[in-house]
Amino acid sequence: QVRRTDGLVEVQITAQQSHLILGGKPVWLMTYGGFPGPTLRVREGETVRLKFTNNLPEPTNLHLHGLHVPPSVDDSMALVQPGESRLYEFRIPKGSAGTYWYHPHVHGRVAAQLYAGLAGLLVVEGPLDALPELKEAEEYLLVLKDWVFSGDRIPAWTQMDWMNGREGSLLTVNGAVRPTLRAQKATLRLRLLNASNARYYRLALENQPLYLIATDGGFLEKPVELTELLLAPGERAEVLVRLSRPGTYRLQALPYDRGAMRMHGGMHSVMGDQGMGQGMGTMDHGGMGGMGDTGTMGSLMGMGATRLETLLTIVAPANPKPMPLPTSLAPIERLDPAKAAATRRLVLGERMMQAEFFINGRMFDPGRVDIQAKLGTIEVWELVNETEMDHPFHLHTYPFQVLSRDGQPAPYRAWKDTVNLRPNETVRIAVPLRDFGGITVYHCHIVEHEDRGMMGVLEVR
Ligand code: C2O
Ligand code: CU
Ligand code: CU
């Protein structure tokens, strides 16, 4: 449903209930017509006229995560009622080539709606995509998302889900369990999105480095070689993969401990029933509230890491000859913290057992402005995590750069909209507020935490 006439892209997106097969079983979801939703592929400078229709039995809306567009358009407080439509019209900014996504943003219902499958990619192309080293690479879009079902439904949230953010033991890539990707070329460009509510993916390719070329807000200055890449909820990354020998390569999620409480042991039969097939050491869902068919609760509760999972198998072509890496990508301006018009401190806090979350001691209130900033300035924000758990901090409307982490300067410049904070960590970011005044929000992208208060309001004028 895309129409394109000189620089104008017209698209329609509908949110609806859908009955799909996931992990081999039919399930009821809420989607934009399938999971993941249709990928919007646009070019820098184009105008997008997006007609969004809500065919769900509850209010929803559409948030353009990461895209630098006016908050009056990307208004996360506006609701689209059942049966109604809303027109989102915006221009794709120059220099924004990268991987973005869209999902609902109804405070209090984000966890339920995102978990149920309302997510899709928005890919922005720009002049740099014509670089031979990128153009000749084979591109794949990979949406990572975990699930849990009770029969063919998503079960109700337990208190533990609200505390931790809900994970699930059914891991999918583009809605498929451990799919195989048969590469035609020896150089791949993977556009990765973590669309999970709360699961972190510590990604690694067996015996093969990843070459990071882009983060949330687009290209780096040059590729960065990594042995692993942590993708927190909401984050995106683009990597080049060079398949230098024939055979298979597994993309894995390595164990990661984000400080969530987990139940241990006793869950083999239940998880086996969900088609996981591999012995379960850790249970990532259920607990406190009692969970219907996940009845046989393990005995131990504590902190713990997720277990190693294979997400995807890549099969290299015969006689693979990977291309050289691009030597330079996009220049990224240096933001001088000395020129900041204001320096602010945002402290993340929680009352864990109540599953209440705070920024600077306060829970979200849509009627309150938490930060007043001046349009046309740059600010430095000091993000402080005073909790025992990781939180991915996300700011709408204004892409930012990470300056330092616990005093250590960032290893390279990058445009971000979501940055992870480890327990007791302090991250300093530089936020240019150059254009688009208005009211927007920042929040934790463990969306249960967002629904339970970890969000604030920024007014720029
Ligand atoms: Cu993807 Cu306000 O979030
Ligand atoms: Cu967002
Ligand atoms: Cu959080």
Q: How is 291-332 classified by DSSP, letter by letter?
A: -GGG-S--SEEEE-PPPPEEEEEEEEPSS--PPPPPS-----
pLDDT of residue 207: 86
Residues in CB range of 79: below 8 A, 6 or more apart = 59, 60, 61, 106
Same domain, 112 and 170: no
Q: Give the helix, strand, coil percentages of the chain, each rounded to 5.
A: 10, 45, 45
ipTM value for the complex: 0.99
Same domain, 146 and 287: yes
Spacing, Cα 445 to ligand 1 middle (Å): 6
Residues with CB under 5 A from ligand 2 (ion): 65, 396
Atom 1 of ligand 1: nearest residue by CA position: 65
Same domain, 102 and 161: no
Q: Do residues 120 and 37 make contact, with C-beta atoms less than 8 angstroms apart?
A: yes
Same domain, 388 and 368: yes
Same domain, 121 and 161: no
Placement of tokens 């249709």 in the chain: 38
Q: Which ligand is nearest to the CA of 421?
A: 3
Same domain, 29 and 139: no
329 within domain boundaries: no
146 within domain boundaries: yes
Closest atom of ligand 1 to 450 CA is 2
Same domain, 71 and 164: no
Nearest alpha carbon to residue 330 among 221, 413, 212, 215 = 221
Atom 3 of ligand 1: nearest residue by CA position: 65
332 within domain boundaries: no
Q: For residue 422, count CB atoms less than 10 angstroms from its CB and return exposed for 0-12, middle for 13-18, buried for 19 or more.
A: middle
Same domain, 349 and 451: yes
Closest atom of ligand 1 to 101 CA is 1
Same domain, 279 and 352: no
Q: Do residues 29 and 147 make contact, with C-beta atoms less than 8 angstroms apart?
A: no
Residue 75 CA to chain centroid, in angstroms? 19
pLDDT of residue 264: 55
Closest atom of ligand 1 to 443 CA is 2
For the segment 330-353, what is each residue's pLDDT rounded down to a tens digit?
999 999 999 999 999 999 999 998
321 within domain boundaries: no
25 within domain boundaries: yes
pLDDT of residue 169: 94
- Residue range(s) defining the domain that contains residue 424: 337-460
Query: What is the C-alpha separation between 260 and 153, in angstroms, rounded?
Result: 24
Spacing, Cα 198 to ligand 1 middle (Å): 13
CATH at residue 282: 2.60.40.420
Distances (CA, A) of 458 to 180, 258, 359, 374, 437: 43, 27, 12, 11, 10
Q: Which ligand is nearest to the CA of 233?
A: 1
**Region of residue 62 (left: phi > 0; alpha: psi -120 to 50; beta: else):** beta
Same domain, 287 and 373: no
Residues in CB range of 237: below 8 A, 6 or more apart = 99, 192, 212, 214, 215, 216, 229, 231
For residue 429, how many other CB atoms are within 10 A of its CB? 22
Of 93, 125, 157, the residue that ends a domain is 125
Spacing, Cα 111 to ligand 2 middle (Å): 14
Closest atom of ligand 1 to 105 CA is 2
Spacing, Cα 198 to ligand 2 middle (Å): 15
Q: How many domains does the chain have?
A: 3
**Which regions in the chain score pLDDT beneath 70?**
263-303
Same domain, 68 and 185: no
330 within domain boundaries: no
| E-only strand ranges, 157-308 | 170-173, 180-182, 187-194, 201-205, 210-215, 218-226, 229-231, 236-242, 247-254, 261-264, 282-283, 300-303
448, containing H or E segment: helix 447-451
Spacing, Cα 261 to ligand 1 middle (Å): 24
Of 98, 125, 152, the residue that ends a domain is 125
pLDDT of residue 261: 83
Residues in CB range of 346: below 8 A, 6 or more apart = 359, 360, 381, 382, 383, 384, 393, 442, 456
pLDDT of residue 156: 97
Query: What is the C-alpha separation between 160 and 180, in angstroms, rounded?
Result: 34
Spacing, Cα 337 to ligand 2 middle (Å): 24
Spacing, Cα 454 to ligand 3 middle (Å): 7
Closest atom of ligand 1 to 103 CA is 1
Spacing, Cα 455 to ligand 3 middle (Å): 10
Q: For residue 372, count CB atoms less than 10 angstroms from its CB and return exposed for 0-12, middle for 13-18, buried for 19 or more.
A: exposed
Whole-model pTM: value is 0.92
pLDDT of residue 377: 98
pLDDT of residue 263: 65
- CB within 6 Å of ligand 1 — which residues? 63, 65, 76, 103, 105, 234, 394, 396, 443, 445
Of 125, 144, 177, the residue that ends a domain is 125
Same domain, 141 and 277: yes
Closest atom of ligand 1 to 396 CA is 2
326 within domain boundaries: no
Query: What is the C-alpha separation between 288 and 430, in angstroms, rounded?
Result: 40
